[in-house]
Structure 1
Amino acid sequence: MATFLQGDFTNETNTFEYVDSILMNQQILMQYENLDFYSVHCIDTLLYYNNYELFTSLEGITDTTYYSADQTIVNSDLVYYGEAYEVINTIQIQNFVTPYGIGLSLCSDGFTWVYDVTDYKAYLQGDVDLLSHNTQELLDLTFVFIEGTPVRNVLDFKQVYVGNFGHYNIANDISLTSTKVKRNAEAEMFSVKTRTTGHGMAGDGNCSEFCPTYHNISVEGIQRYEWYNWTECANNPVYPQGGTWIFDRAGWCPGKFADTYDWDITEFVTDPDSIEIDYGMTQYAVGSGEGNYQVSVQLIQYGNPNFANNAAIETVIAHNDHDLYNRFNPVCSNPKIVIKNNGSETLNSVGVEYGINGDYSYNYQWTGELEFLETQEVALPPINWQEFTEENIFNVRLVNPNTLEDEYQYDNQYATNFEAVDIWTDTIMLVFRTNNFGDESHYQILDQSGNVLVDRDDLDNNTTYYDTLSYPPGCYEIRIYDDGEDGLNFWYWDGEDGTGYAKLRIPGAQYVKHFNSDFGSFINYQFVIPDLSYIITEELNRKYFEIYPNPNEGSFNLKLNFEPDYTTQIHIYDMFGKEVWKISGPNISSDDINVDLSSLRKGVYFVNINSGNITRTKKLVIN
């Protein structure tokens, strides 16, 4: 048991002074090292105290004591470099929009586009990164390097502008502002190359894709060139496509190169040190929308032309089976070429020699006036269509420009493969039916001299027209136009236009040719009506049967191009007339017939076929 008692006590406070020591604040030391020569890394973090200890009292610091360091770390400079990076110089070679692929068929061979990239030669050497954005078709890009001398040497190339820019910023000189480029002291000629395509659809005008507007180039502060940035698409050689392929657009069409312009600014360059370039465009109307433009502007500085007297063939339009010219081929009328003056002297005349399959017996003398780099399409007198074979090569060359020797002959000749036109030995009829807008349709039939034999215009809606093409022997052409540039059938109108068509038929018999109704703006079709001698010769040369392979080693196939009957007999004879193989009557079918004569000696044999009024013999070679 505990007892607590309360007593009296007195509080008392006494003050005493003591001396104490305080360590300095702790320090942090981070140690770095150069590990890869373009950056530094922290490799350690150290904690340490200052070298002094402080003694303090109520009056403040009274004394200090120094302590020696355990180790010494030297702070030195580390030399390192920023991470390596590439200086990317983006050069646009071309602006190309792939075809609209819904329902599009380019067959197994695809479609080929060709574009001259001579001005970009300096950038197509060594290691080059090629960039092409595409999420639809499989593209194959091939560069063909042709050894020779260019028309003029590129001394300097500058990509002045490239990229995606808004319409408002271009029109108000916020983007693509005036830029000065250093002038090459040796340059004598100057050109600005532009490509501009509008994209985006907004506002009342669906701008920029469907907004036609003017764009311009200024040199040294003065506007020198202006163009209407608008491209017709309904004549596209890639047709029919899916989507809205027929609609005109701002500088481009699906399945075509963007419009490229080469503006000669030589006479406008006066500053000896620099060349000032500016790009502009007109402002849209209020409410038209605000789109954007893919713009490429390039300044190219050249030396003087390398030749004074040099005529060249730029291309062959017809005869040519190249994809780009399929709307104008095949033909039986005038071959068409494009000539170009690649010499500094004005081109006033040049001879043209041409023919097929290595023959140059056709001649034409061109006269005119072409300045340096100017071109002109030339229609040549027709080649006799009876000279055409199953495999044809059109060859053409230029001779004696300005009655002088051509200084550079490697660009004055051209050769193209081409197909022969249809030859109708039977009378044919054009059957043409309009859609709901007959007044948009118009067609003509012309002879080889360009005389109009049939001209139908202002046609009635949903009406069928018949024209029997019973004409003298010769070359003829059917031209079909649609003023609405949407053909006779286009999906976009959802049936509002209706459906028309154009076909060829043998009167009272079957249709023999169908023209695609989704053709855009026009169709050109040439054909031949032969004379009696051709019909007789063709009948004699007709391929009633084929031997393949031929020559062979004794095993081969016979293919009949007619329907055999009970009278059909096939005999094979040696060179002495001895029968070595035969088959007849019901044992013969229209399927390929395999024949094995490998047991016979090598040599020449003859295959003879008799069927009704058909009798044909062909040579067979066994190696």
Structure 2
Amino acid sequence: MKQLNILIFSLWVIGFVHTQEKTHVISHNGETIVTDPSKGNNSYKRWAVFPKKTKDIRSIILNLKFQCPDSIRCADWDYVDHIRARQKNDSTVYEIARMLTPYGGFFQKDWGFEWQVDVTDFSLILRNEVEIDYIHSGYEDNKTRGWKVTVDFEITYGTPIANPIAIHKIYDGSYKYGYENDPIENHLVPVTIKANSNTSFSKMKIHQTGHGMDANGCGEFCSKYRDIVFNGEVVDHKDLWMECGDNPLFPQAGTWIFDRANWCPGYLVQPDEVLLNTVSAKPFTVDLNMEPYQTDNPSANELISAFVIEYEKANAANDVTLVDIIQPSTRVMHSRKNPFGGLPVIRVKNNGSQPLKKMTIVYHLEGEKPQKYQWEGDVGFGEETLIVLPTEVFSKKDTAQFHVALERPNGKRDAFSTDNLGQSTYQRPNILPETIIVYYKTNNKPGQNTYAIKNSFGDIAFEKDSIDMKPSTVYLDTIKLNPGNYNFKFNDTAGDGLEFWFKARAGRGEVKLLDSLGRAIKQFKSDFGSHINYYFTVRDDMPYELDNKPSIAVFPARTSGPITLDYFSNTPANVKVLIVDQESESKILEEHNYHNFSKGPLDYNLSYLPKQRYYIKVYVEGEEIYKNRIRLKE
């Protein structure tokens, strides 16, 4: 009977997959992007052919991939990049996406990362021949640094959630902020639009990031609010601030942990969306108001592009979409929460005109019996919600496909069921023994750190706060666990991890999980930002695994000369350490060899070298396994 259930479910899944037609339009395919220091921006215009206007589009997801270029290094700075679209024979240009580039100084040749943003609201203009312009800003050297960029539009065909009628550009520019004699509201003026006779509702879509640096840190490093005003009433209020210490792209070479004005380094902006209750054939007014602000010697800028899209009424009363599977997943955007064993987490969106009150969710790992969950809640039209499914997932396989299907929204047939189903790749979490040792060496700020181990249902197996902890001290906690799925969460309230190059005075700490013999079963990077989030499983029918890759770290990254290389490995080996010139790696400044070496700090003093950047490389049994940058400063 179990096999029959799985077979029926699998055939049902295949039917869904076959009815969801997709295509990809790639405007930039692994192109090397560099700055133009003479202008501060560099334009890469490419023509792409999108579906004809007669073809119904259900969704358009922009996939943006960054890699290190083949012949030069990854770029260093957090610059603002724009992706703009212009239809053939039309002069109007639309910013459809905005990227804030990462600090790439640490990234090696095999590095890559991918982001996504929904650009379906621009489906009116992403038709036929379209010029896609990738604009890379900045002034850094363009001969030795850059990015390899792929811009991929993933288009799913099918009945739209609602038919778009018109798109209006409301604001588009860099607006000076903080000027007493020229306040920003002189430029962010109200805009009045007459709705189309078929318009049922409208959506305001906003890209906004703060830049510049005055005495108060504005606009990049200061928190200000913004109001969206519709027909004279505030319909949306937002604090333009983003915490960066939990960025899934970590660590980075620069100040990636510092919170910023609605963006972080290494981040594809997720635009704000505000639904407007417009009335057909009636004029309406929209306005964007910034928090009042004035300062001496202002230099802040609010970079804003905003659009209003008019829509006909929603095409269905009951229409739910599976937007994403967050756990389990192998997507790099979810890497802080995976690999994973425990209660799955999904994101769904209500695309029906009726509030979503209930539905059935069917889910399972391949080869296992499907589970059914009768979900209840209240999600309005156009809104999204996270749902935690009530049954744990675990497979003895290294990987398996995880399937989810949404059924019967509000007890009714879903009008467009092709986007009700999805799958992700499950990676089995590490198997740990029943007895583990938490090795925690504090840095100079132990009061910022706490940690806990909880099972999937939130029950605490062990927790430790910072009371009575001393700086630069090793603490060992031996913990006995029952079989099950667990999460080890290590928090840093300052968001700067146990080390950060900009805060060298805070020192460096370490966290590892050891077995009862003192061998590493999991070693964590100390430059982790706000938290470590590690899922594992304890089993009495499977052997646990050791973390046999050597843990290597160098601190500080900026130094007047002294540095320490911390090395920890379960296996003694022949280790070689090289100090080389960054721009000419064949130029070896120092070489150190250690025989039958397994753990310990290694101290060097480079104060005699010229004040510039270097690489420190570590070879184990002749293989390069570590490379990082050191900056010698005055």
TM-score normalised to structure 2 length: 0.67
Q: 1:467 aligns with which of 459, 462, 477?
A: 477
Partner of 2:524 in structure 1? 515
Could you say which structure has the higher strand fraction?
2
2:95 partner amino acid: Q
For residue 406 of structure 1, report the CA deviation from its aligned partner.
1.6
- Aligned residue pairs, count: 447
The aligned runs of 1:585-600 (5 Å cut-off) are: none
For residue 381 of structure 1, report the CA deviation from its aligned partner.
2.4
Task: Tell me, yes or no, if the aligned pair for 2:454 and 2:486 is still in contact at 8 Å.
Answer: yes
CA distance in 2, matches of 1:291, 1:453: 48
Secondary structure of 2:129's aligned partner: coil
For residue 370 of structure 1, report the CA deviation from its aligned partner.
1.6
Partner of 1:275 in structure 2? 284
CA distance in 1, matches of 2:226, 2:283: 23
CA distance in 2, matches of 1:288, 1:485: 30
Query: Does residue 430 of the first structure (1) align with residue 441 of the second (2)?
Result: no
Secondary structure of 2:154's aligned partner: coil
5+ long unaligned stretches in structure 1? 1-84, 539-623
Query: Does residue 96 of the first structure (1) align with residue 130 of the second (2)?
Result: no
CA distance in 2, matches of 1:111, 1:463: 36
Secondary structure of 1:139's aligned partner: strand
The aligned runs of 1:36-185 (5 Å cut-off) are: 87-105=90-108, 108=110, 110-134=112-136, 136-168=146-178, 171-185=183-197
Partner of 1:214 in structure 2? 225
Provide closer, same or farther for how the CA distance between residues 394 and 271 of structure 1 changes in structure 2, counting only shifts above 3 A: closer
Partner of 2:213 in structure 1? 201
Provide closer, same or farther for how the CA distance between residues 259 and 121 of structure 1 changes in structure 2, counting only shifts above 3 A: closer
Task: Tell me, yes or no, if the aligned pair for 1:171 and 1:280 is still in contact at 8 Å.
Answer: no
- Residue by residue over 1:280-327, the C-alpha shift from the partner in whole angstroms, topping out at 9 and shown as x without a partner, is 212225348331111011101011111111222121110001011111
Secondary structure of 1:303's aligned partner: strand
Secondary structure of 1:153's aligned partner: strand
CA distance in 2, matches of 1:215, 1:225: 8
Q: Quick check: 128-137 or 110-119, which moved more?
A: 128-137
Task: Tell me, yes or no, if the aligned pair for 1:171 and 1:282 is still in contact at 8 Å.
Answer: no
Q: 1:506 aligns with which of 493, 515, 520?
A: 515
Provide closer, same or farther for how the CA distance between residues 133 and 316 of structure 1 changes in structure 2, counting only shifts above 3 A: same
CA distance in 2, matches of 1:270, 1:187: 7
CA distance in 2, matches of 1:278, 1:530: 58
The structure showing larger relative contact order (alpha-carbon pairs under 8 Å, at least 6 residues apart) is: 2
Partner of 2:417 in structure 1? 409
For residue 350 of structure 1, report the CA deviation from its aligned partner.
0.8
Task: Tell me, yes or no, if the aligned pair for 1:307 and 1:407 is still in contact at 8 Å.
Answer: yes
Provide closer, same or farther for how the CA distance between residues 522 and 497 of structure 1 changes in structure 2, counting only shifts above 3 A: same
Partner of 1:492 in structure 2? 502
Query: Does residue 238 of the first structure (1) align with residue 241 of the second (2)?
Result: no
Q: Quick check: 412-421 or 401-410, which moved more?
A: 401-410
CA distance in 2, matches of 1:418, 1:109: 22
1:156 partner amino acid: A
Query: Does residue 528 of the first structure (1) align with residue 530 of the second (2)?
Result: no
Secondary structure of 1:190's aligned partner: strand
Query: Does residue 364 of the first structure (1) align with residue 373 of the second (2)?
Result: yes
Partner of 2:325 in structure 1? 316
CA distance in 2, matches of 1:158, 1:115: 20
Provide closer, same or farther for how the CA distance between residues 346 and 248 of structure 1 changes in structure 2, counting only shifts above 3 A: same
1:257 partner amino acid: L
2:118 partner amino acid: D
TM-score normalised to structure 1 length: 0.68
Partner of 2:343 in structure 1? 334
1:112 partner amino acid: E
Q: 2:491 aligns with which of 475, 481, 490?
A: 481
For residue 384 of structure 1, report the CA deviation from its aligned partner.
4.6
1:157 partner amino acid: I
Q: Quick check: 283-292 or 157-166, which moved more?
A: 283-292
Task: Tell me, yes or no, if the aligned pair for 1:358 and 1:395 is still in contact at 8 Å.
Answer: no
For residue 446 of structure 1, report the CA deviation from its aligned partner.
1.2
Q: 1:439 aligns with which of 437, 442, 447?
A: 447
2:515 partner amino acid: I
Partner of 1:301 in structure 2? 310
Secondary structure of 1:349's aligned partner: strand
For residue 154 of structure 1, report the CA deviation from its aligned partner.
0.9
- Residue by residue over 1:25-60, the C-alpha shift from the partner in whole angstroms, topping out at 9 and shown as x without a partner, is xxxxxxxxxxxxxxxxxxxxxxxxxxxxxxxxxxxx
CA distance in 2, matches of 1:224, 1:402: 28
Provide closer, same or farther for how the CA distance between residues 347 and 465 of structure 1 changes in structure 2, counting only shifts above 3 A: same
Secondary structure of 1:300's aligned partner: strand
Query: Does residue 355 of the first structure (1) align with residue 357 of the second (2)?
Result: no
Query: Does residue 253 of the first structure (1) align with residue 264 of the second (2)?
Result: yes
CA distance in 1, matches of 2:105, 2:111: 18
CA distance in 2, matches of 1:240, 1:109: 12
Task: Tell me, yes or no, if the aligned pair for 1:157 and 1:298 is still in contact at 8 Å.
Answer: yes
For residue 519 of structure 1, report the CA deviation from its aligned partner.
0.8
Provide closer, same or farther for how the CA distance between residues 171 and 350 of structure 1 changes in structure 2, counting only shifts above 3 A: farther
5+ long unaligned stretches in structure 2? 1-87, 138-145, 546-634
CA distance in 2, matches of 1:422, 1:195: 40
Provide closer, same or farther for how the CA distance between residues 303 and 428 of structure 1 changes in structure 2, counting only shifts above 3 A: same
- Residue by residue over 1:538-579, the C-alpha shift from the partner in whole angstroms, topping out at 9 and shown as x without a partner, is 9xxxxxxxxxxxxxxxxxxxxxxxxxxxxxxxxxxxxxxxxx
Q: Quick check: 343-352 or 220-229, which moved more?
A: 220-229
For residue 506 of structure 1, report the CA deviation from its aligned partner.
2.2
For residue 360 of structure 1, report the CA deviation from its aligned partner.
5.4
Task: Tell me, yes or no, if the aligned pair for 1:215 and 1:281 is still in contact at 8 Å.
Answer: yes
Task: Tell me, yes or no, if the aligned pair for 1:233 and 1:246 is still in contact at 8 Å.
Answer: yes
2:318 partner amino acid: N
Task: Tell me, yes or no, if the aligned pair for 1:207 and 1:288 is still in contact at 8 Å.
Answer: no
Partner of 1:186 in structure 2? 198
Query: Does residue 377 of the first structure (1) align with residue 376 of the second (2)?
Result: no
Task: Tell me, yes or no, if the aligned pair for 1:360 and 1:395 is still in contact at 8 Å.
Answer: no
Provide closer, same or farther for how the CA distance between residues 525 and 292 of structure 1 changes in structure 2, counting only shifts above 3 A: same
Provide closer, same or farther for how the CA distance between residues 289 and 462 of structure 1 changes in structure 2, counting only shifts above 3 A: farther
CA distance in 2, matches of 1:384, 1:376: 21
Secondary structure of 1:327's aligned partner: helix
For residue 248 of structure 1, report the CA deviation from its aligned partner.
0.8
Task: Tell me, yes or no, if the aligned pair for 1:206 and 1:289 is still in contact at 8 Å.
Answer: no
For residue 158 of structure 1, report the CA deviation from its aligned partner.
0.9
For residue 535 of structure 1, report the CA deviation from its aligned partner.
4.5
Secondary structure of 1:294's aligned partner: strand
For residue 476 of structure 1, report the CA deviation from its aligned partner.
1.5
Secondary structure of 1:92's aligned partner: strand
2:93 partner amino acid: T
Task: Tell me, yes or no, if the aligned pair for 1:348 and 1:369 is still in contact at 8 Å.
Answer: yes
Cα RMSD (Å): 2.3
Provide closer, same or farther for how the CA distance between residues 360 and 159 of structure 1 changes in structure 2, counting only shifts above 3 A: farther
